[in-house]
Each structure stands twice: as C-alpha cells, then as structure tokens.
Amino acid sequence: MSSLDMSKFEKKIVIRNIKKEDIDDIIELSKICFPNMDPWQRDQLESHIEMFPEGQFCVEAEGEIIGTSSSLIINFDEYDDQHTWDEITDEGYITNHDSEGYNLYGIEVAVHPEYRRMKIGRRLYEARKDLARQMNLKSIIIGGRIPNYKNYAAEYTPREYVEEVTSHNVYDPVLTFQVMNGFTLKRINRNYLDDDKASLRYATLMEWNNVDYRPTSKRHFKTALPVRICAIQYMMKKIDSFDEFAQQCEYYADVGASYNSDFVVFPEIFTTQLLSFIDEKSPSRAIRRLTDFTEDYINLFIDLAIKYNVNIIGGSHFVEEEGDIYNIAYLFRRDGTIEKQYKIHITPNERKYWGIKGGDKVEVFDTDCGKIAIQICYDIEFPELGRIAAEKGANIIFTPFCTDDRQGYLRVRYCAQARAVENQVYTMIAGTCGNLTHVENMDIQYAQSGIFSPSDFSFARDGIVGECHPNIETVVVGDVDLEILRRSRKSGNVTQWRDRRKDLYRIDYSE
C-alpha cells in the first residue's frame, strides 16, 4: 500500500521577529487592516527594529506576512495617567524604549482580515507573554481601541460601553479579544489616538500581570546614574620614538583611572606626533608612513584600557584600508573589545594635503555606561549626524578634534553645545595644543577641551560640566548623570527631543 505524502497538505505558519526586508509588506498590511487610519511609515518601523528588535513580531503563512505586533519596554509609572499613543511611543518611533523598564507596552496588533478566524492575534499575544516572562517584566500594558463604540455612543458613555463589553452583553472585536486573553481594565483614556475615529479617540488601558515576575536587586529606581569623563588636552611636541609616545599615553590613561573615570578621551589625529621622528617632507607620503604604526597603536591602547580598567577613546588615527587612507576613531573598551568610527566629513585641508577618504556610517556603541557615539571634529558640525546618533540611542557624543586656530575651535565647540541642546544629550570635545615644528601641515594647534550638557535647571550652569584652560597641556574631569538626562527628556522646562515635528520633517539616512 503506498503511503500518503502528507507534506502537500501542510500549511506552515511561523511566528518570528520582523526584519528590515519585511517593512514594505508590513506597511501594506497596516493599510489593509486599518484603512481609515495612518499606516506605519518606513522610518518608524526601522526605528522599532533598531531600538527593540525582540519586541517586534510577525506571523508568516506560506511566506506571506499575515499578522504583526509592535511593543516597547517602559516604566509605566513615569507616564501621565491620561497619556496619548504619541506620548507613549515617541510618535511611533519608540526611541523612549527603556531596556531597564518594568512593563512591556503593546502599541499595535494587526491581522489580515482573511486570517482573522485562525487565532493569529492570539499567537501574537502569546509571543508577547513569552517575551515578558523571558525578560522578567512585571506586566504587559496595552492601549486598546474600542472600534464598535461609534455604534453605541448615543446609548452609552465610554465607561458604560466598556462595562457592557466586559460583561459580555456587547461585542467589541478588540476589547472582547483582550478580555478573553487575560487582560484587565486599568482605566479609560480620552484623545488617545487622533485618527481612531471608530473609537471616538477613546482607548482602554489594559494590563496582563506576569505571575512569574521575580523582583531582583538589580531592578530598582535610580536616583542617579553617573558617568565620569576625562578629556585629555594633549600637547603636541617633538618625540624621538614610539616608546616615548606610548609613555605619554600611559601617563594620561593612569591619570584618568586615578580619578575613577569611566572614559578617557584623546584628541583627533594626535598620533601625527609620531611624524616628528620620521624624515618625510611630503605630507601625503608622511601620512602613509604613519599608517605603519596602526597595529602598534591598537595594541598600546587596548592594553591600557585593560590595565587601567577604563574605556578609552583613542583620539583618531590615520589608517590605510585597501589603498585608501581613513581618519578613524577607536573605542577601546575595558573588557578588551574594540569598535571604530570612520570620520564621515573630510575637511578641504585633509583632502588636499593627505588625500583622506570619508566613511559612510554613523555608529552607536554599547558600553558599560550606556550607548555612546563618536563624531570626529568636522562631523560634529553637521547636525544630522547628532540627530541620527541620538535616534539610535546615544546619550553621550564624544568629539576628538584638532584645530589650528580659534575660529576653527569655536566651530567645533559651538556645534558640540548645539548638539547637546537640540538632542538633549551630553557632548564633549578633546583637542590638541602645542605644535609640531618638524611636521608639514601640522604646524600650530588651538584647543580648549570641555564637557557639555543640555541647558536646563537640572544641568550645569551655562551647560558646561567642565572645561580646560585654553592651550595648555592638562585634563578636565567631569561627571554626567544619565538618569537626570532621562528625566529631563520627559519633563524638562523644554523637551526638544519629544517636541520634534516629525509630521513636517525627518532625516533620511542611507545606512
């Protein structure tokens, strides 16, 4: 007797996290599921994947996406009782996602109309519950639509309508589903979602409690989250060997560590000091000879980061890759790992004398003190880069710089302070002083290194955490508080980050 091939009867349904290549399909699905509401925008979904990929799910049937859900983590107690969807999601971008939060907040579930009797929504809700258990979160909170309320508004108040639905006297496709999935009512919010006309803009705040939640000593309310930064104002002077250079660098790593710094930051291209013992008059050839020290430079700084238990931003160094020269800043973490950021915007001088090529990606790095970005000198003068870094979660932007006159220095300083204000982040600049009389195109230096904050009552006066005296070899050490920064973004005198008009403008970033 021949066996029956069962595979031809199979209908494979897979639930998984969404990927960037799913975005077009998800946008089309949102148009089908919510024809009278604004669909997702591509940059919103890209932000979801960037900020919290684990919280974005889709259901795939035979290669077609038939359902999706989006969520973020928050501390729900920090939000107003009558918050809106825009407030809880940062206008759909979830850049307020808090990995240290207690609550998973569901912001949308969409199921293709042709598949709504297959328990696709239940699968998505169960995926969220599994995630909450895995991440040891206290609860799941959702702002639920009540789309049938428009048909009962003349008969019931919103509260009465919700009571009728929860008592199973009236059916609502969303609220009934949520009650059947173990969610209980917390309250009713008005003006929750502007384009939800079917619900008359009301929403039910519903909660599912994770009975497996285990309080841990690591999860507590933070009164402060300080990060100490040491900026090196490095003197450029003639040396006779790489060992002499290494001795100077170790001295400053030791100084930073002795003040219990979390980051020690060196200036841009301060490794050109090595050219003072290289006999080469042509600037372009001298830079290529400088790249021969790349491995020695990397070995030196990763050893210093580990030895002194401090994260080091090793200024920047010229590196040859496939025949081209790049200006690269390295992050040497104290755990022994290394990252790098290419300088993106190349100055006319760098291009003319050294033939430097520009990078093409804004990096944001995870550290044991949160997310940071590095923007080398000229890059801080382009506001789009600071905005992109902040959207990727950076709380501090480090800027190693090298300028030859006060005007050039002030461009870097003023722009760093502007980035701090407009993005509500901390910024810092570390530059070179002195001179290299033996090196072509590295004649004079001007610097006044500093650490800057947003400008509000919670921060330092004038937005200056600390600064060096100009043009002397020294350091500045300052503390920045990431908890104050987080609170300021939510409830400062001004909230530039939350008040951006994304309905009018946005940055298109080709990564």
User: pLDDT tens digits for 295-304?
Assistant: 999 999 999 9
Residue 372 CA to its chain's centroid (Å):
8
Residue 491 is given by DSSP the state H
pLDDT of residue 218 exceeding 60: no
* 230 included as an active-site residue: no
Chain centroid to Cα 226, Å, comes to: 18
Please state whether beta strands 13-17 and 57-61 pair in parallel, antiparallel, or not at all (unpaired).
Answer: antiparallel
Residues 6+ apart with CB under 8 A from 475: 230, 231, 232, 233, 252, 255, 256, 449, 468
**Nearest residue to 287 (alpha-carbon basis) of 318, 328, 316:** 318
Instruction: Choose which CATH entry (3.60.110.10, 2.60.40.1110, 3.40.50.720, 2.60.260.20) describes domain 226-491.
Output: 3.60.110.10
Q: Regarding predicted confidence, which is higher, 454 or 118?
A: 454
At residue 222, the pLDDT reads 56
Amino acid at 189: N
Catalytic residue among 230, 249, 369, 377: 377
pLDDT value at residue 324: 94
| Predicted local distance difference test score (pLDDT) of residue 505 | 87
Flag the least confident range among 226-230, 256-260, 290-294, 495-499. Answer: 495-499
- Given a cut of 80, whether residue 3 has pLDDT beyond it is no
Residue 14's pLDDT band (boundaries 50, 70, 90)? confident
What is the average pLDDT across 3-21? 71
Question: Does the pLDDT value for residue 219 go beyond 50?
Answer: no
Single out the catalytic residue among 129, 138, 343, 371.
Answer: 343
Give pLDDT tens digits for 139-150: 999 998 999 999
Mean pLDDT of the region 402-419: 96
279 pLDDT tier (thresholds 50, 70, 90)? confident
Mean pLDDT of 3-32: 80
Boundaries of every domain in the chain: 11-209, 226-491
Q: Cα(209)–Cα(191) distance, rounded to whole angstroms? A: 25
Looking at residues 456-475, what average pLDDT do you find?
94
Q: Residue 501 has what pLDDT?
A: 85
Q: Are 302 and 329 a contacting pair, CB within 8 Å?
A: no
Question: What are phi and psi for residue 405, nearest 5 degrees?
Answer: -145, 170
At 1 the pLDDT is 43
- What's the burial of 94, exposed, middle or buried (CB within 10 Å: 0-12/13-18/19+)? buried
Q: What confidence tier does 7 reach under pLDDT thresholds 50, 70, 90?
A: low
268 flagged as catalytic: yes
Computed from CA positions of residues 234, 235, 241, 243, in that sequence, does the dihedral angle turn out positive or negative?
Answer: negative
Query: What is the average pLDDT score of the chain?
Result: 91
Q: 195 falls in which pLDDT band (50, 70, 90)?
A: confident
From the candidates 50, 91, 268, 381, which is the catalytic residue? Answer: 268
Report the predicted TM-score, pTM, of the whole model to 2 decimal places: 0.68
Instruction: Verify whether residue 377 is a known catalytic residue.
Output: yes
Rounded Cα distance between 317 and 296, Å, is 12
Say what the pLDDT of residue 481 is. Answer: 93
Pick the CATH number of 11-209 from 3.40.630.30, 3.30.70.60, 3.40.50.2300, 3.40.50.300: 3.40.630.30
For the cut 90, the answer to whether the pLDDT of residue 194 exceeds it is no
**pLDDT of 2 higher than 70:** no
**Structure confidence at residue 119 as a pLDDT band (50, 70, 90):** confident
pLDDT band at 396 (very low <50, low <70, confident <90, very high): very high
DSSP string over 441-479: T--B-B---EEE--SSTTS-GGGEEEEPPTTSSEEEEEE
pLDDT exceeds 60 at position 6? no
Assign 106 a pLDDT band (cuts: 50, 70, 90): very high
Q: Which of 431, 432, 407, 426 is nearest to 464 (CA)?
A: 426
d(CA 227, CA 485) in angstroms, rounded, equals 12
By the 8 A CB rule, do 463 and 418 touch?
A: no
User: At residue 476, does pLDDT exceed 70?
Assistant: yes
- pLDDT tens-digit readout, 316-372: 999 999 999 999 999 999 988 999 999 999 999 899 989 999 999 999 999 999 999
Encoding tokens for residue 419?
């980035």
